[in-house]
């Protein structure tokens, strides 16, 4: 199969022929239909986060099941599925207490003594985030995908697999936004727009979008923002505090910078919660004023929207088909696998929300 391979950090992905194995007892072979080009992939390409190389990248995807292992009970051949990088075992303490996205059990991966899922002539190929979806096929654990209704377009379903689940889940699950509360979202890329959409679905009374690109004004409001702040023209923290007369109930940092994480905390009202969704590079720290904690302000991380994806993703599909979840507006362009490097270059400009690789294009 054709796949986009990262062989060395800070170099373009290479389109190569990669061999994929047969499903083990709890594994599923999927024909990839679409894969979103996510900023998380860029972090690994640029070396901000380490990963064994070479590796087939990609983790935001949807497709059709081709083959299942002997013990698989959750999906069957022909099912349309969304994948999720937070594969879960189903019986560790995290899973049994409802925190599926925090499962770290090695059971969802192959043992070192097993044949690898991916290979190339002369060596192994590392699987990325349990998925490796920049490829024509994926071989994954059955608890890394969920079946969805077949009338859902798979190019839009792919977005739910990471960016949308991360943003919407951060608002609804991690921070529990309630009707009438105030929200600020820093960074209006794919995840930030999803957080805005999630806050709107949750009934937030005021949603303030913040970005350094003036072009994000209209699109953020299409996703549910009530206000927009251009952070290049004003002090975003001061502006939020003035607009809300004391700060917001919830803030969401969707960029991955120490500075913006600090801003997210500093724009809170007493008792507010700052949620860091963005991937702050390894080794970076944030600095907060200790006295602020006397006002019961909180700062926390959010991993994949604190999802219970077998339940959440089919519900998000229903929300999209009911006109509540915005996905069409998030896709900036549809591309072929061979165009993946140009998609990452466009991503760096901040001009696109999401490029989606469509494998039948």
Question: Which positions are annotated as active-site residues?
Answer: 38, 40, 43, 59, 162
Pairing of strands 206-211, 80-83: unpaired
**Using alpha carbons only, how large is the chain's radius of gyration in Å?**
20
Tokens 């079946």 label which residue?
Answer: 147
Question: Rounded to whole angstroms, how far apart are CA atoms 106 and 356?
Answer: 30
Question: Rounded to whole angstroms, how far apart are CA atoms 95 and 111?
Answer: 21
Question: Rounded to whole angstroms, how far apart are CA atoms 33 and 357?
Answer: 8
Across-strand partners of 184?
208, 251
Q: Is-contact 174 300, C-beta < 8 A?
A: yes
Nearest to 317 by CA among 159, 170, 169, 201: 159
Element (H, E) at 49: none
Whether the ω angle into residue 19 lies within 30 degrees of 0, i.e. cis, is no
Q: Any residues with CB less than 8 A from the CB of 310 and at least 6 apart, and which? A: 74, 100, 143, 146
Q: Work out the burial of residue 144: count CB atoms within 10 Å of its CB; fewer than 13 is exposed, 13-18 middle, 19 or more buried.
A: buried
Q: How many CA atoms lie within 13 A of 252 on its CB side?
A: 36
């Amino acid at each position: 199969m054709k796949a986009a391979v990262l062989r060395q950090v800070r170099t373009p992905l290479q389109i190569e022929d990669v061999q994929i194995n047969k499903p083990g007892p709890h594994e599923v072979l999927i024909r990839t239909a679409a894969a979103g080009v996510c900023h998380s992939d860029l972090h690994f390409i640029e070396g901000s986060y380490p990963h064994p190389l070479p590796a087939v990248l990609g983790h935001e995807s949807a497709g059709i099941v081709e083959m299942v292992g002997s013990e698989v009970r959750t999906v069957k051949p022909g099912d349309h599925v969304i994948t999720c990088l937070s594969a879960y075992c189903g019986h560790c303490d995290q899973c049994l207490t409802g925190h599926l996205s925090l499962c770290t059990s090695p059971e969802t991966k192959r043992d070192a003594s097993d044949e690898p899922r991916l290979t190339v002539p002369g060596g192994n190929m590392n699987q990325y985030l349990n998925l490796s979806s920049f490829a024509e096929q994926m071989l994954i654990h059955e608890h890394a995908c969920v079946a969805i209704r077949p009338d859902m377009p798979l190019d839009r379903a792919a977005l739910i697999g990471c960016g949308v689940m991360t943003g919407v889940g951060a608002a609804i699950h991690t921070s529990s936004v309630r009707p009438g509360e105030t929200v600020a979202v820093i960074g209006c890329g794919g995840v930030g727009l999803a957080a805005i959409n999630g806050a709107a679905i949750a009934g937030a009374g005021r949603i303030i979008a913040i970005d350094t690109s003036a072009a994000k004004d209209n699109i953020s409001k299409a996703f549910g923002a009530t206000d927009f702040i251009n952070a290049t023209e004003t002090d975003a923290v001061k502006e939020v505090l003035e607009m809300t007369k004391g700060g917001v109930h919830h803030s969401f940092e969707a960029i991955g910078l120490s500075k913006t994480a600090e801003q997210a905390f500093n724009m809170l009202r007493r008792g507010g919660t700052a949620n860091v969704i963005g991937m702050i590079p390894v080794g970076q720290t944030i600095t907060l004023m200790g006295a602020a904690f006397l006002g019961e302000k909180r700062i926390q991380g959010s991993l994949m929207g604190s999802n219970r994806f077998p339940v959440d993703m089919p519900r998000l599909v229903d929300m999209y088909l009911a006109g509540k979840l915005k996905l069409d507006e998030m896709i900036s362009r549809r591309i072929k696998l061979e165009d993946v490097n140009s998609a990452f270059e466009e991503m760096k400009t901040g001009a696109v929300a999401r490029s989606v690789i469509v494998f039948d294009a």
